[in-house]
Structure 1
Amino acid sequence: MKNRYYDLNSYFRNMFGCRVQKITVDAGLNCPNRDGTISTGGCIYCNAQGSGTGAHGKGLSITQQLIAGKAALSKRYKAEKFIAYFQSYSNTYAPYEKLKSLYDEALSVENIAGLSIGTRPDCVNENILKLLESYAKDSLIWVEYGLQSANNETLLRINRGHDFDCFKKAVNSTKGRGIKICAHVILGLPGEDKSQMLNTAKALAELKIDGIKLHLLYVVKGTEMEAIYLSGNYRCLEQDEYAQLVCDFLELLPKDTVIQRLTGDPHRNELVAPLWSPEKANTLILIKNILENRDSWQGKYYRLLAKKYG
């Protein structure tokens, strides 16, 4: 078996017939879990930039960020089309007109084939979804909802600020509009065991989510997770342990779920632990080898779950 999971590059090539790359853009938006609407501390693992590039703080417009990204990715990957990825913080958390202006600007740049919008499930409403639906008529539109876990106790523990029902409501409100839905999941969250992590896979399989991003929980300087880790009250996953969990997770998902990511990209200058986490290529090889040694693949056990769902 050539491909044991449905990766993002294969999805893009199937859709566009060429190499497509996502360009990360920073729109300078905020998050209700940081500005006091829900909380001021954010999720316990989140860094000060909200996983962003800091480009907005340097005065770079969306257009400037996309042009620079296109130049770099065209040279490195021979990419012909691009997706503008609004990553930093919550990218539907702003007034309607501001969001429309940002999205319009991105889609006006040459060879931008669509948008991928990272946000929270509690930061969408009917007007925003109608706006995205209008773009989806001519462009590829993905909404990436941060879930992290389907376990409400875990969501409370990490100060997520919403529960699983909130995520399900956002997903159901987004479906049927031509918008693709991606869920972000973190493996290794404090207090979660293997069965709870795999219950998240089962819950997402039941919802028939279009795409998944899997992340390792790594400890970043200046976060609450750093204090928990340094106190000895948290143990990071080992590399093989994480790779095994990823394979377990993949086996429970439908074959047509697009696997947008299998592990994250921590910044070395802010990483506390685990020290193996920047070894992304080695982790991906390990996942590939485990699947081959198991003679396994994405969706191997999904049919059994589907029978249960009816």
Structure 2
Amino acid sequence: MKKDNPFPYSDDNKRYYTWNYYLKHTYHQKVFKVPLDAGFTCPNRDGTKGYGGCLFCGSAGSGECVKSGIDLQEQFEEGLAMMRKKWPTGKAMAYFQAFTNTYGALEQLKACFTPFLERDDVIAICIATRADCISDEILSYLDEMCQTKDIWIELGLQSVYDETALAMNRGHTYEEFTDCIARLQKTHVKICVHLINGLPNETEEMMIHSAKTVGALPIHALKIHMLHLLKGTALYARYQEKPFPLLSQEEYVELVVKQLEVIDPHIIIQRLTGDGIDALLAAPLWTKRKVCVLNDIDKRMRSLNTWQGKKYK
């Protein structure tokens, strides 16, 4: 499968640094994420920095598949049991996915995270949060956790453009984000950043610039996916009133290939397309064909004889 593939971090036809490749070569066994909802909120939801949250975000935050209101250990056991049906000997990453999982008092965070540090079947902890919600006190605790297990912080950024962040009600600036990266860089915490393609009023050039800019930062991983218009969100309501252009599958594939070309080849690509819940996803419906999208990206990269970082400087 590696034949004619010039990208070094690959065992197959993938011309980018996949999450599967990283997990296989780091842990030498099957590793999967178990998503969790710890009951946090966000500062742009509770009035600290605004109300309503990000315009594209649903009522369950970014963890649309997570069961809220259930004890964390019970959530984990249920998710682990589902994954073990497919991979009986696999190890889990406890993934605190919904909302902002460092937006609380230190003792609250310890109560959530510490039990998973003590579990032998948990190989790492992933914590989704915002760049403006990691105090020095919390950062010190996260670094301390790294002595026991791998700790990943997933920072939702979506775009490097402050005008886009303002329009989407993000509630923080790109400068706050880069400040957070600089602080995290001084610890043992691993950093993953999220970007969204197709946000209103962003051009192809802007989206490539976001990927190029973030892809040159001292981070470990990136997640990229297409904007999902979810029923019940403020952005979908706006779209219904005044539709704005959405990328086609073909346009998205071309864009992602161009983005990968300008990203540091040492950065892990954890995701290149997202999972939208059928009952909530209003558009674009082609995003449901996840395997097809990924296959098209592979085919396009091969046809162009390109790979992640080919144009990275």
Paired with 1:17 and 1:216, the residues of 2 have a C-alpha distance of 31
Alpha carbon RMSD of aligned pairs, Å? 1.2
What's 2:8 paired with? none
Shift of 1:79: 5.0
- Give the gaps of 5 or more residues in structure 1: 306-310
The question of 1:152 aligning with 2:152 is answered: no
2:185–2:218 CA contact under 8 A, matched in 1: no
What's 1:15 paired with? 26
What's 1:210 paired with? 220
1:43-192 matched pairs, under 5 angstroms = 43-52=54-63, 53-57=65-69, 60-192=70-202
Shift of 1:289: 0.8
What's 1:252 paired with? 262
What's 2:229 paired with? 219
Q: Taking every aligned residue pair, what percent have the same amino acid on both sides?
A: 38
What's 2:278 paired with? 268
Paired with 1:275 and 1:135, the residues of 2 have a C-alpha distance of 40
1:86–1:117 CA contact under 8 A, matched in 2: yes
What's 1:308 paired with? none
Paired with 2:114 and 2:263, the residues of 1 have a C-alpha distance of 34
Q: Which moved more, 1:67-76 or 1:189-198?
A: 67-76
Q: How many residues align?
A: 301
What's 1:39 paired with? 50
2:36–2:66 CA contact under 8 A, matched in 1: no
Paired with 2:237 and 2:79, the residues of 1 have a C-alpha distance of 35
1:228–1:234 CA contact under 8 A, matched in 2: no
Shift of 1:228: 2.3
1:289 aligned counterpart, secondary structure: helix
1:222-301 matched pairs, under 5 angstroms = 222-301=232-311
1:220–1:271 CA contact under 8 A, matched in 2: yes
Distance 1:54 1:84, change over 3 A: closer
1:20–1:79 CA contact under 8 A, matched in 2: no
Superposition TM-score, scaled by structure 1 size: 0.94
- Per-residue CA deviation, residues 30-85 of structure 1 (Å, 9 max, x unaligned), is 1111111111111111101102235232xx22212222222211221345211101
Paired with 2:168 and 2:251, the residues of 1 have a C-alpha distance of 21
What's 1:26 paired with? 37
What's 2:16 paired with? 5
2:199 aligned counterpart, secondary structure: coil
Name the amino acid aligned to 1:269.
A
Shift of 1:227: 2.1
2:195 aligned counterpart, secondary structure: strand
